[in-house]
Amino acid sequence: MAATSTARKLLLDGEWIETGEWIDVRSPYSGDVVGRVPKAGADEARRAVDAAERAMREPLPAHKRAEILVRVAAQLGRRHEEVAQIISAEAGKPLKAARVEVSRAMSTYTMSAVEARTLAGEMVPMDASQAGSGKLAFTLRLPVGVVGAISPFNFPLNLVAHKLAPALAAGCAVVLKPASRTPLSALLLAELEAEAGLPAGWLNVLVGPAGKIGDVLVEDERVRLITFTGSAEVGWKLAERAPRKRVNLELGNATPVIVEADADLETAATKLAENAFSFAGQSCISIQRIYVQRAAYDELLARFLPKVEALALGDPADEETDVGPLIDHDSRDRVLAWIEEARSAGADVLAGGTLHGELVRPTVLANAGPELKVSCEEVFGPVCTVTPYDTLDEAIELANGTRYGLQAGIFTSALETALAAARRLEFGGVTVNEAPTFRADQMPYGGVKDSGNTREGPAWAVRELTEERLVVLEL
Ligand code: NAP
C-alpha cells in the first residue's frame, strides 16, 4: 500500500467495523493501492438493515436533521482539498474536476438542509364537496422507511451525497453500498455525518460484492425503497426483482447535442470540447453525439477540433490535466473496440482514436452510422460523433434515436427553435446554449425511457422518499 493511502473501516450501527477481509482500492491511473476497506457481505447487510430499522423507531426532528446536513456541508468546505484528493486518487478524476465535485456536494447538503426545514404536507379543501363539509383535512409527509442506496464510481462523493442528504432530510435511515472501486469518498462522507452528530444506525455503509449486498436490499421487506444510480442493465434488473418496493433509477444516456447554423459557434465549440471529454467521458451526461446543421458543419469542426487536440492528457493528480484514465482496463478495451467497430464500418477518425500511453485520446468520429454502438449505446469514454443534418426535424429524430433519455442540448439563437426542441426532445432535461452536461444540484435531474424513472435534486428526491398520510378531522 502506498505511503499516502488510507485504510477506512465500514460504518455499521454507529460502530466502525472490520470484517477480517479487505478490498484494495487502486488508482485507475498508476494501479497503486490508494486505500483499503473491509469487505462486507450479506451478514453485515442484514445487520445494517436491523440497525437502520431500529434507528427509525426514534425519529430525528427536522431541525436536528437540518443541523447535521449544514454541518456536513461546512466540513466539506473545511476539508475541501483533502476530499478532492481522495476523489482524484480513487476515481482517477482530474483534480480540477474533483474540486468541482466537492463544491457540488456542499451544495447538495445545503439544499437538503433547506428541504429538511421546509418539508410539510398540504391542506385539503374539504368543503369543496358536500361530503367533506364540516371536516378539516391535511396531509403529513412521513419518511418512506429504510432506504437501500447503491451508487456508481464516477461521482463517488456527490452522487453519494444525492443519496444520503435527501434521505436524511426526509427522515429515512440508509444502508449505502457505494461502488467497490471508489468507496473512500463515501466512507469519508459517512465519517463527516457521524462527526456532525448523526446517531447510530441512521447511516450504514457497506462495501463488498454487489450481488450479495444487493440481494439483501432487494429481499428484506424492511427496505422500503431502493435508490440506484448506475448502468441501465443493473438498474432495471433490480427494479424487476423488487416489484413491491419503490426502486428509483438514475441511469445512463447517449447524450446528444444539436448545433443550429444560427448558433454562436465559438461558444458551442468551446462547450462541446469541454463537455465531451472531461473525466474521460465518464459522466452520464457527457456529450456523445453532436448534430450540426450542414451550413455550419465545416466551421464548427474548424473551431472544435483544435480545442479537442489542445486538451491535456495525463496524471489526474496533475493540476493541468483535463483528461485522465478510464476506470479500468476492461473499460479502456471496450471503448477502443467500439472505436474500431466504427472505423471498420467506414467512420472517419477526425481526432484521437488511439492510445496515449494507457490513456484513450479524445476521439472525434465522423460518418458514424446510427446503428453503431458509438451512435446509440452509452460510450462512457472520451469519444463523440459529429454528424451533419439539414432540418431541425431531422436533428430531433437523430437525437431521439436512442433507448436513453436523460439530458439533451441545443445551441441556437432562435427562441422558437429552442422551444420547439425543448418540447420534442424525449429527455428528462433539455439545455439551451449550454452543454447538456450541465447540472446544478438543486435541479430536478433524471431520465425517461431506459435512463430511469425518478428525479434527484433534493427538493424532488425528498418527495420520492416520503409518503403523504391523510388526516381527517370532524369538527
Ligand atoms: P454499475 O456497474 O451499474 O454499478 C453501479 C452500482 O451498482 C455499483 O455500486 C455496483 O457495485 C452496483 N451493482 C452492480 N451489480 C449489482 C447487482 N447485481 N445488485 C446490486 N448492485 C449492483 O455502474 P458504474 O459502472 O459504477 O457507473 C456507470 C453507470 O452509471 C453509467 O451507465 C452512467 O451513465 C450511470 N450514471 C448515471 C447517473 C445518473 O444520475 N443518471 C449518474 C452517474 C452515473 P460494484 O461497484 O461493487 O460492482
CA of 161 relative to ligand 1 center, distance in Å: 15
Work out which ligand 1 atom sits closest to the CA atom of 215. Answer: 19
From 258, 244, 254, select the one nearest 450 (Cα to Cα). Answer: 254
CB-based pocket (< 6 A), ligand 1: 150-155, 159, 177, 179-181, 210-211, 214, 229-231, 234, 238, 250-252, 284, 378, 380, 406, 452
CA distance 177 to 325: 24
Per-residue pLDDT at 239: 98
Q: Give, using CA atoms, the residue closest to atom 12 of ligand 1.
A: 210
Q: Return the pLDDT at 4.
A: 53
**What is the β-pairing status of strands 363-366 and 348-351?**
antiparallel
Nearest CA to ligand 1 atom 16: 210
The pLDDT score that the predictor gives to residue 3 is 42
Question: In a 3-state reduction of DSSP, which class is residue 396?
Answer: helix
Task: With beta carbons less than 8 A apart as the criterion, state whether 411 and 268 touch.
Answer: yes
Strand order, beta sheet including 466-474: 123-124, 135-143, 466-474
Ligand 1: distance of its center to the CA of 251 in Å? Answer: 8
Strands 355-356 and 223-229: unpaired
Closest-CA residue, ligand 1 atom 26, reads: 152
> What is the chain's length?
475
Instruction: Pick from 241, 284, 378 the residue to mutate for probing ligand 1's pocket: most ligand atoms within 8 Å of its CB.
Output: 284
Q: How far is the CA of 145 from the centre of ligand 1 (A)?
A: 23
| pTM for the whole structure | 0.97
Which atom in ligand 1 lies closest to the alpha carbon of residue 447?
41
Q: What is the predicted pLDDT for the residue at 2?
A: 47
* pLDDT by 10-residue block (mean), the chain, 475 residues: 72 98 98 98 98 98 98 98 98 98 98 98 97 97 98 98 99 98 98 98 98 98 98 98 97 98 98 97 98 98 98 98 98 98 98 97 97 96 98 98 98 98 98 98 98 98 98 96
Probe residue for ligand 1, chosen from 25, 151, 163, 229 as the CB with the greatest number of ligand atoms within 8 Å: 229
Told to judge if 284 belongs to the known catalytic residues of this protein, a careful annotator would answer yes
Active site residue 172: no
Q: Name the residue with cell 473491509.
A: 38
| Candidates 250, 378, 456, 464; catalytic one | 250
- For 388-404, what is each residue's pLDDT tens digit? 999 999 999 999 999 99
What are 303-333's pLDDT values in tens digits?
999 999 999 999 999 999 999 999 999 999 9
- Which residue's C-alpha comes closest to atom 35 of ligand 1? 230
Q: Which three cell numbers stand for residue 175?
A: 444502508
**Is-contact 257 406, C-beta < 8 A?**
no
* Test site for ligand 1: of 150, 184, 240, 330, most ligand atoms within 8 A of the Cβ: 150
Closest to 362 measured CA to CA, from 342, 337, 340, 335: 335
208 Cα nearest atom in ligand 1 = 47
Model pLDDT, residue 364: 99
Residue type, 123: M
